[in-house]
Structure 1
Amino acid sequence: MVDNLKIMLAQLNPTVGAVAANSDLARTAHAEAAAAGADLLVFTELFISGYPPEDLVLKPAFVDACQEAVKNLAELTGNGSPAMLITSPWAEDGKLYNAAILLEDGKVDAVRFKYDLPNYGVFDEKRVFDPGPAPGPINFRGIRIGVPICEDIWTEETCETLEETGAELLIVPNGSPFERDKQDVRLNLVVARVTETNLPMIYVNQVGGQDELVFDGASFVLNADRSLACQMPEFEEAMLLTEWTRGPDGWVCAGADTARQLLGYEEIWHACVLGTRDYVRKNRFESVVLGLSGGIDSAVVAAMAVDALGPDKVHCVMLPYEYTSSDSLEDAEACAKALGVRYDVVPISEPVAGFLNSLGPMFEGTTEGVTEENIQSRTRGAILMAISNKFGSMVLTTGNKSEMSVGYATLYGDMNGGFNPIKDVYKSDVYALASWRNQSDGTGLEGPARRVIPERIISKAPSAELRPDQTDQDSLPEYDVLDDILDGLVESETSLADLVAKGHDPAVVERIQHLLYIAEYKRRQAAPGVKITRRAFGKERRYPITNGFRDKA
């Protein structure tokens, strides 16, 4: 009977659909595990396909490629090499499963299927996968290992079944996306499962960006006494060798590395940076371009882009019009200089005049207003897209969640772009992130340390500068009020009556609800962006565009 075990955890960054590249990552990890003397190498959920593969797994040729890759990887495990617990879509008997596969002695030794398929929030696995039967333990060198997969540990049933059928140790491959304060939720969840089963648990989680999701890694191990044996870093690829000993009370993991946990705005910043970096690079762009207005949103996005890609990959463009203040011109230039990026100024007066002249006969006799303001924004959007087309840089758009909630954005104007790092960040948090970044020493980031955003950008009143002396508060409540209302309406589905009971003005609450609902059509056409909150717009919060319902305060 084996009484000592070395398990290597692979917290890596696969790419959805890149079967060959993901297989190469697995091969490299296996070589490292072998050099470290590991007995078993463990990967995250659906590693071979990348997670989440969505409808890609409905393509039989893709599933065949994944299964063939797994079988080829099995060849690495002969002649005393480490075994692998790899993960992949798996077709069997006319059904398609989310599977964990044990590779040992040069062959597929055991297969287990995900039992509890999530179908809420950003997850819709029931759309593409069949649920497996309740899994029993895998026999690995005389050790009975339970392998619940991600959602399987979010309820009691699967882990209890594994414990009742003789599991000695639980290993959980995860594709658990980041959201604010989620690490504590995960830890408390694992504590509950460990307490119920009295079994130690290895929680290994994917890292990297995939479309609007970011996976933060932060893999960890809890012993049966609920002590934290090790904690891997957040937002970084890492490999960790864990050493296990069988004692009179079962398996115990010796203490290993414990990475510092990121907190608050530091965690959110790193999530936005990683999501931006992976979206740009995995979609084969080399650089980005964005409009730098001298305002807080574009300054924060520029800083995130530099932290993600480096200053040489970021191009900032100021697009002034007659309403652009001298402060904005100075602040944009100062921000670009602090970040070390290329900075150009492209005035928009002539193209705006061209549009207005062309439309003049049709608009004659009408009152000038938001239409003419939006022409400015759409001109800027067209220029940024032209720069993108000419030089091959992805356009980053810069609207925050507060603005996107109430439609304070111009479709085909400032909403133009391929990705939005702060799409799911409320305006109040944008300010807090800017202040945090100005205090950061830049550890783990590509940009310079501290003071990358001029203080006046943070302190001045926000304005779209589409008319003289305009401020955001001409049209919207103060952002602390707006964001509190939106937090209730969007994140919690709070009734208007309850929001009024909190002290909000009934007329303001009803107006914000109305703006939120009528802006749905804009949000459907918005660029993707990093999920930060509990209910991001898009796949997570799915409201109808045509919607006649209104709550009453």
Structure 2
Amino acid sequence: MVQTPPHMISEAMTHRFFSLHHHRMIRVAAATPPASVGDVPANTARTIALAQEAHAKGCDLVVFPELNLTSYAIDDLHLQSAQQAATLAGIRAVAAASVTLKPVLLVGAAIERAGRLYNCAVVIARGRVLGVVPKTYLPNYREYYEKRWFASGGGLTGLTIDLGGGLDAAGPVPFGADLMFAADDLPFFTFHAEICEDYWAPTPPSTMGALAGALICCNLSASNIVIGKARERMLLAAAQSARTASAYVYSAAGIGESTTDLSWDGQGFVYELGELLAESERFARGPQLVLADVDAERLIQERTRFGTFNDAAREAGHPETRFRLIAFTHGEDLDDVAERGGLARDIRRFPFVPNDPAKRDADCYEAFNIQVEGLAKRLEAARASTLVIGVSGGLDSTHALIVAAKAMDRLGRGRDTILGFTMPGFATGEGTKAHAWALMRALGITAAEIDIRPAARQMLADMGHPFAAGEPVYDVTFENVQAGLRTDYLFRLANQRGGLVLGTGDLSELALGWCTYGVGDQMSHYAVNAGVPKTLIQFLIRWCIRTGQYDDETNRVLAAILAQEISPELVPADETTGALQSTEDMIGPYALNDFFAHYVLRHGLSPSKIAFLAWHTWRDAAAGRWPTDVPAEAQVAYDLPTIRVWLERFCRRFFQTSQFKRSALPNGPKVSSGGAVSPRGDWRAPSDGTATLWLEDIAANMP
């Protein structure tokens, strides 16, 4: 048996890892060439030029405007034989030019068939016309007169068309509104075409196309511009891509169309699951080609989670049984995306937090109030007279405490009904202890201190632990005796004083299992932070400071707490260096862990795919946008080996060692659509599972 040399395996693996197609991603483009008033040869030449540019940029699919070969606003010229003949010649020229081009081209043309003229999307690839899709809905109101010239393609199924000139050399070309296109060598490359008015209709054809399996919906549009229409187009595309769990590529006619009565802005954009991936410059006088890398795997995974999608397909009579699947061979792409300028999509470094400041503030407002209202309702339902919380001076207990203060304000109760306890242990730093006291005083809660060290020494002595005999043994037992005692005190204090114990553990800790079973960061009467990842907690506290949720003294303390290193403070500082126990040194940067958690929980992506996205997102600290709230010292980069180390540890912790803790999670509000770990919500999994499959995926697919 001939074996492949290891260096060749590594080289092949590297090529796969850095290619789009390996990760089931498709590069699409909305193309807007300068238009003309019926000059088909000029339109054809500009179409070919943009197709060649798209080829050079590695595009797989390019969508041109409606009637871009013919021209849109030429009125009765559509009905002239010379115009129709020139259009067929233009289609032949584009097809001939496409022989050596990578992308599939969707061009617009008016084509006669059986004595009727149709407004069509012509799908061209590698010298062939794959199919012709006629427009279904023809606007005939206000400034539109399309029924004067065109016939509707609605209901036309199972038909073909003779385009002549060698375009149908392989047989008649499929024609009709029942066409869906799919690459036979890339099963995730599936698309559907509709034209302009089709997606203003109450039932866009792309809905049926998506239910039939198309992952990318394409719209060739003319769409003259009036005030507010650009927003309406984007609203429709965002809604359609979200509703159909698809990507939506839209291209509108631009400068050069007749302005006898109308004007044109050439708007092009790409949406995916309701999110804008890319948008062209409007009113540009030159050609526009806006690119985006569509994540087909994400779309597939979304549909598998979105049961209503399958229900809708059933109610629609299973459209996949009515569509003709037009197959074509596209070809694998092993080019390194980084060599082409990186991914053509904006991937947030903090997926639970928008980059846009206005959206971020809106999300923080919602997240904070979800927590406040969740806790307020629980307090009312439990008829609890007090709320008991352990305050360490760290991020999580700080955030839980300010949520509690706001909940009491909203209920009209005094903040003194919050009983805050700082419980110093063997490694509690003076700084965090001071922060805890300063925050409790600033908020005006009832504060007290319980030194757990005597009880901890007694328990360790009862257990025969070496620490009780004076040996510096700081093992997991040493740590958990302290953590467990704090929780014991809090529950008994709640019994004594008619209260609820407020949990402080966050989603990031629960995902990683970075919590002690039965202890306060895992167990409580109400886990108010359980739906909030660590990165979002940091942004939420900054939002509280910035928007004046509390007084100046509270804000000063909150800012000081944000600036300190995250540490469990269960083991004494290093005697030589004085360094504190660092959480992120042990479990990895929370920024990376939250990135991993989002793509596992929300999208179910494979680890190697997550690593690919993480590398493009985090490899250059200077590249891309950072949310304005991220301090300069936190704007760091991570190389691929570092990402791999922490991703492997995340997979072990998440899939294998931590589920039993999440299965016993107390009640707490879901906060983010980015994912949650409650066994009653987003994540149900066996407590005795294994991480083998995920670790094998990393080993097999990462260089």
TM-score by length of 1: 0.51
Could you report, residue by residue, the CA deviation over 1:398-438 in whole angstroms, capped at 9, with x for unpaired residues?
Answer: 01111111111111222231011111111011111011111
1:337 Cα deviation from its structure 2 partner: 1.3
After superposition, the Cα gap between the structure-2 partners of 1:437 and 1:477, relative to the gap in structure 1 and judged at 3 Å, is same
Could you report, residue by residue, the CA deviation over 1:288-336 in whole angstroms, capped at 9, with x for unpaired residues?
Answer: 1100001111011000001001312211100001211110111001111
Alignment of 1:52-451 (within 5 A): 188=239, 263-310=362-409, 311-360=415-464, 368-414=474-520, 415-442=522-549, 451=555
Instruction: Name the aligned partner's letter for residue 652 of structure 2.
Output: H
Instruction: Name the aligned partner's letter for residue 413 of structure 1.
Output: V
Could you report, residue by residue, the CA deviation over 1:106-152 in whole angstroms, capped at 9, with x for unpaired residues?
Answer: xxxxxxxxxxxxxxxxxxxxxxxxxxxxxxxxxxxxxxxxxxxxxxx
Q: Does 1:493 align with 2:617?
A: no
* CA contact 1:300–1:453 (8 Å) conserved in 2: no
In 1, distance between residues paired with 2:426 and 2:453? 7
* CA contact 1:289–1:314 (8 Å) conserved in 2: yes
1:351 Cα deviation from its structure 2 partner: 0.7
Aligned to 2:151: none
In structure 1, the gaps of 5 or more residues are 1-155, 158-183, 194-259
In 2, distance between residues paired with 1:519 and 1:407? 5
* CA contact 1:404–1:523 (8 Å) conserved in 2: yes
Aligned to 2:668: 529
What SS class does the counterpart of residue 417 from structure 1 fall into?
coil
In 2, distance between residues paired with 1:319 and 1:312? 19
After superposition, the Cα gap between the structure-2 partners of 1:548 and 1:479, relative to the gap in structure 1 and judged at 3 Å, is closer
Q: Does 1:547 align with 2:689?
A: yes
Q: 1:512 aligns with which of 629, 650, 656?
A: 650
1:448 Cα deviation from its structure 2 partner: 5.2
* CA contact 1:401–1:427 (8 Å) conserved in 2: yes
What SS class does the counterpart of residue 370 from structure 2 fall into?
helix
Instruction: Name the aligned partner's letter for residue 513 of structure 2.
Output: G
* CA contact 1:289–1:393 (8 Å) conserved in 2: yes
In 1, distance between residues paired with 2:472 and 2:432? 31
Aligned to 1:59: none
* CA contact 2:386–2:497 (8 Å) conserved in 1: no
* CA contact 1:397–1:416 (8 Å) conserved in 2: yes
Instruction: Name the aligned partner's letter for residue 441 of structure 1.
Output: G
Instruction: Name the aligned partner's letter for residue 659 of structure 2.
Output: E
In 1, distance between residues paired with 2:472 and 2:564? 34
* CA contact 1:334–1:454 (8 Å) conserved in 2: no
Instruction: Name the aligned partner's letter for residue 494 of structure 1.
Output: L
What SS class does the counterpart of residue 290 from structure 1 fall into?
strand
Q: 2:567 aligns with which of 453, 463, 473?
A: 463
Q: CA RMSD in A?
A: 3.1
* CA contact 1:348–1:380 (8 Å) conserved in 2: yes
Runs of 4+ in 1 over 4 A off after TM superposition: 361-368, 447-450
Q: Does 1:482 align with 2:593?
A: yes
Aligned to 1:40: none
* CA contact 1:500–1:506 (8 Å) conserved in 2: yes
Instruction: Name the aligned partner's letter for residue 519 of structure 1.
Output: S
In 2, distance between residues paired with 1:474 and 1:361? 26
Instruction: Name the aligned partner's letter for residue 323 of structure 1.
Output: A
Instruction: Name the aligned partner's letter for residue 536 of structure 1.
Output: A
1:529 Cα deviation from its structure 2 partner: 1.1
1:536 Cα deviation from its structure 2 partner: 1.9
In 2, distance between residues paired with 1:474 and 1:192? 42
What SS class does the counterpart of residue 315 from structure 1 fall into?
strand
1:547 Cα deviation from its structure 2 partner: 1.1
1:441 Cα deviation from its structure 2 partner: 3.4
After superposition, the Cα gap between the structure-2 partners of 1:500 and 1:392, relative to the gap in structure 1 and judged at 3 Å, is same
In structure 2, the gaps of 5 or more residues are 1-206, 209-234, 245-357, 410-414, 573-579, 616-639, 699-703
In 2, distance between residues paired with 1:428 and 1:356? 35
Structure 1 stretch displaced more, 528-537 or 344-353: 528-537
Aligned to 1:114: none
In 2, distance between residues paired with 1:393 and 1:287? 4
After superposition, the Cα gap between the structure-2 partners of 1:330 and 1:547, relative to the gap in structure 1 and judged at 3 Å, is same
After superposition, the Cα gap between the structure-2 partners of 1:276 and 1:361, relative to the gap in structure 1 and judged at 3 Å, is closer
Larger radius of gyration: 2
Instruction: Name the aligned partner's letter for residue 386 of structure 2.
Output: S
In 2, distance between residues paired with 1:368 and 1:334? 29
1:192 Cα deviation from its structure 2 partner: 8.3
1:507 Cα deviation from its structure 2 partner: 3.0
Instruction: Name the aligned partner's letter for residue 389 of structure 2.
Output: L
After superposition, the Cα gap between the structure-2 partners of 1:453 and 1:438, relative to the gap in structure 1 and judged at 3 Å, is farther
Aligned to 2:61: none
1:188 Cα deviation from its structure 2 partner: 4.6
Aligned to 1:132: none
Instruction: Name the aligned partner's letter for residue 527 of structure 1.
Output: P
In 1, distance between residues paired with 2:664 and 2:558? 32
* CA contact 2:526–2:668 (8 Å) conserved in 1: yes
TM-score by length of 2: 0.40
After superposition, the Cα gap between the structure-2 partners of 1:441 and 1:454, relative to the gap in structure 1 and judged at 3 Å, is closer
After superposition, the Cα gap between the structure-2 partners of 1:192 and 1:405, relative to the gap in structure 1 and judged at 3 Å, is closer
* CA contact 1:298–1:398 (8 Å) conserved in 2: yes
In 1, distance between residues paired with 2:514 and 2:431? 22
After superposition, the Cα gap between the structure-2 partners of 1:387 and 1:477, relative to the gap in structure 1 and judged at 3 Å, is same
What SS class does the counterpart of residue 464 from structure 2 fall into?
helix
Aligned to 1:252: none
* CA contact 1:434–1:453 (8 Å) conserved in 2: no
What SS class does the counterpart of residue 555 from structure 2 fall into?
coil
In 2, distance between residues paired with 1:407 and 1:549? 14
In 2, distance between residues paired with 1:337 and 1:361? 37
* CA contact 2:367–2:672 (8 Å) conserved in 1: no
In 2, distance between residues paired with 1:496 and 1:421? 29
